[in-house]
């Protein structure tokens, strides 16, 4: 996996680490390859699901890095394509495709995590603007974002029906961002405070009090992304078996520890099955089909697989696995990555929430 610095996030103030990184983004954006399935009118390549899969495979064959990693691409863009007005699509989608605007997501609040619909950030009507007051938390990369797509309460008389989905410029007066540090020693998360922030009502997506419908669709994109990406939290992207062999060694061509050998083999079988499921889900999504609960399945199982992976690595490393710094005083990746995996079962909706969704809507269990 690439480090945060090597990933091209885009944005108004993004600093490219090389001319090659900048040129790769521009070349791909000019062909619509940053968002290949989007319509050409909005910066995409207009490819269908099968064509997009071929493009992905060809990129992988030449070991090409993703030209752009963006919440605008993975979450906001699909929501705007479905719910946005023609004006909103024309205004926001092409800059997303070109990597010119970096977005963050304003959903969770200090007292509204799993029960997201209880959010309290208020948007009061004032002519053709909303005046927004409140706080968001666990907002990934808010300190680097140009804009935020946020859920706000526009009606206090109903819970789910009183929420609106608005787009807010992070440079607007009254917005304050504070980073949050996790036990791993680093974090992409932030708190975001809104103090009488004025936002045009034209930035409301799908209409006032229709935000919960948009939120549910966007959460499905987020959970599928987390599920498929949660297996990449370390800067060391070598196969699991290779990393374990380096830590434990071989005995007659096999892992020296038989119990560990069996566990690694089982993990790799489960990972192969998960990869096949992710590919199937992506093809179904690009074709406009699939079950709405697939995202919960991928999110849950991807998180569990990743936790198992780093438990195995920590077991293989033994006492060395808990070393916070190396002999030269530099930080070590393994314990920090292991700690980071614990967040996989919380972010994007807890594992308990995903299991409840599957129990109710897929298994149809009584009382769920």
Please tell me which residue, 122 or 353, carries the higher pLDDT value.
Answer: 122
d(CA 364, CA 69): 36
Asked if residue 216 has pLDDT above 70, the reply is: yes
Structure confidence at residue 293 (pLDDT): 86
Return the SS3 of 195: strand
| Structure confidence by residue, pLDDT tens digits, 269-296 | 999 999 888 888 877 776 767 777 888 8
- Residue keyed to tokens 């108004």: 12
| Structure confidence by residue, pLDDT tens digits, 98-110 | 999 999 999 999 9
Which whole-number Å values give the CA distances from 122 to 20, 77, 167, 250, in the listed order?
A: 44, 24, 14, 60
Domains of the chain: 19-97 (1.10.540.10), 103-208 (2.40.110.10), 230-361 (1.20.140.10)
40-61: string of b/e by CB count within 10 Å (b at 16+)? eebbbbebebeebbebbeebee
Number of other CB atoms surrounding residue 63 within 10 Å: 6
Do residues 122 and 170 touch, judged by C-beta distance below 8 A?
no
Asked if residue 351 has pLDDT above 80, the reply is: yes
Number of other CB atoms surrounding residue 202 within 10 Å: 13
Structure confidence at residue 231 (pLDDT): 46
Q: How confident is the model at residue 329 (pLDDT cuts 50, 70, 90)?
A: low
Asked if residue 258 has pLDDT above 50, the reply is: yes
Largest CA distance in the chain: 77
Structure confidence at residue 236 (pLDDT): 64
DSSP β-ladder status, 147-153 and 103-106: parallel
Enzyme catalytic residues:
222
Q: Which residue, among 332, 308, 218, has the nearest Cα to 260 in the 3D structure?
A: 308
């Amino acid at each position: 996996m690439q480090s945060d610095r090597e990933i091209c996030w885009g944005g108004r103030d993004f600093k490219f680490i090389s001319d090659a990184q900048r040129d790769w983004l521009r070349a791909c954006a000019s062909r619509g390859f940053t968002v290949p399935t989007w319509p050409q009118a909005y910066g995409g390549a207009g490819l269908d699901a099968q064509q997009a899969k071929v493009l992905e495979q060809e990129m992988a064959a030449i070991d090409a890095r993703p030209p752009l990693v963006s919440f605008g691409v993975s979450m906001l863009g699909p929501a705007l394509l479905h719910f946005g007005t023609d004006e909103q699509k024309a205004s926001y989608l092409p800059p997303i495709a070109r990597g010119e605007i970096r977005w963050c997501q304003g959903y969770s609040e200090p007292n509204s995590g799993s029960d997201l619909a209880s959010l309290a950030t208020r948007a009061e009507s004032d002519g053709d603007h909303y005046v927004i007051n409140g706080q968001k938390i666990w907002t990934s990369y808010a300190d680097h974002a140009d804009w935020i797509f946020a859920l706000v309460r526009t009606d206090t008389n109903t819970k789910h029906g009183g929420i609106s989905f608005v787009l807010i410029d992070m440079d607007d007066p009254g917005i304050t961002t504070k980073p949050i540090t996790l036990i791993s020693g680093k974090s992409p998360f932030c708190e975001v405070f809104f103090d009488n922030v004025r936002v045009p009502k034209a930035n409301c997506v799908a209409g006032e009090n229709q935000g919960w419908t948009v939120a549910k669709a966007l959460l499905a994109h987020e959970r599928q992304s987390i599920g498929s990406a949660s297996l990449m939290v370390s800067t060391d992207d070598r196969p699991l078996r290779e990393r374990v062999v380096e830590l434990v060694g071989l005995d007659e061509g096999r892992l020296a520890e038989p119990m560990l050998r069996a566990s690694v083999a089982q993990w790799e079988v489960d990972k192969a099955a998960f990869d096949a499921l992710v590919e199937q889900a992506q093809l179904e999504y690009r074709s406009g089909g699939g079950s709405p609960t697939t995202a919960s399945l991928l999110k849950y199982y991807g998180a569990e697989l990743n936790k198992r992976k780093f438990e195995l690595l920590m077991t293989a490393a033994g006492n060395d696995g808990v070393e916070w710094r190396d002999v030269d005083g530099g930080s070590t990746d393994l314990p920090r990555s292991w700690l980071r995996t614990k967040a996989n079962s919380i972010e994007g909706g807890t594992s308990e929430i995903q299991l409840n969704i599957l129990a109710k809507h897929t298994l149809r269990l009584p009382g769920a």
